[in-house]
Structure 1
Amino acid sequence: MNLFGDAFAWLLDPENWQGPGGLIELTGQHLWFTAVAVIFAALVAVPLGWLIGHTGRGRELAVGISGAARALPTFGLLFLFVMLVGVTLRGPATVLVLVLLAIPPILAGAYAGLEVIDRRTIDAARAVGMTEWQILWKVEVPLGMPLLLGGLRSATLQVVATVTLAAYLNLGGLGLPIIQGIALRDYDRMLGAAILIIVIALTLDALFAVLETYAVPRGVRAARAPEPRTAPSGRRATAETPATTEREEKN
């Protein structure tokens, strides 16, 4: 418990948040790498996933590529790219590795969101004269948005955790206090930085959870709402009315 108390004391120390290399700057670097990687991954994966989900073509290839990308060792891949492009381009190389890490869950969420839509809904849209483009944007994309946000949620959490490795390349981020803590045997610093990363991850996870809830179209939410309970058909609604009671007494 003393270790956790010291870690929180380190986090609450204003000196650790100020100046170059402070927690404000390191947190900004951590979030910047995360945002850039997820945005670039979404620009690649979302259109490709929608194309696969709408046409039904290339799903097996996408699943295979996604599975292979998930199996890549991120730490080894990061250093491999840096060695290939040079130390001067270690920033773009790191972003590229993070993008490759974020693409599989976003791609899966994009095409799965369209695949789970009832085909009768799509047929009804075609029957009323909608074009394929209108079906995609007015029917499939709104209905598939919750699963897409789920993919973005998973990708963001993975990237937030992996950005910690950027500190090994002297690119900043909240992994830097952890590395410094290992070298200095400063466990308060290590645990404090880890707690801050966890708080950021949980905050982003909660934000995406709220977005997923509100991304469900109102008509779908209304259909999922439980119907009010009704009285069993065998029970008479007027069983306890005064008129009924008076008739029973006369009989």
Structure 2
Amino acid sequence: MAGATATAGRATCTYVYAVGRASKKTSRREGVGGGKVEAVGYRDLTAITSAVPAQGLRARRRDLLRHAEIVQEAFERSTVVPLRFGTTLADRDAVVEELLAPAYDQLVGLLRRFDGLAEVTVRAFYREEEVLREIVREHPRLARLRDTASPLELGEAVAKALAAKRDAAAAEIVDTVGRFALDVALDERRTELEIVRGAFLIDRDALASVDRELAELARAQAETTVFKYTGPLPPHHFVSFAAG
């Protein structure tokens, strides 16, 4: 990044949160680094921006939250193309000259593609003690192995049963939500107790149906499983666009 501007005696650059259709509305929240959120327009596009220090921008939790909140607020008003945390350009002119103008056709195409769509994220994971008790109930042989098998053999048998149960549960969740999804992005599990971690691209008109289906799943599996469902969100997992 070059050509940072000076604001109130300190060097700044322009942080870009997202691009949407032309609008003068911006957030009243403080932006990343505490700056005022402003709109930068070009033709029928608007970039949501704020000034940030030219040096020292870090992924602090406070600023990560500010970034997410400002993008979410813009998304609730209209379709947006969200940009990654930390996207900066030298100044407001550079936002037009290096982002909005050269990528105009691509940005317009993305806004059309994602119009009326939203991302929902779903995480599900087991409560360890509860799921192990259920596995033993479902597989009486495991209870008998406590007295006859070595700890290693018992552990391997339990792990195999847990993996099979987890894979079946993950398939049920993905199939249930996937029936309404235009696209699906699944992340790798981070622990053996995590069932699924995924994002689903959903038509807004189908969100209520997804809510009902997930609520039914959560009730049916409440004894052993915790569900975390977030949305509607901007299509972070499905937009492939980087400034510059």
TM value normalised by structure 1: 0.24
TM value normalised by structure 2: 0.24
Bigger helix share: 1
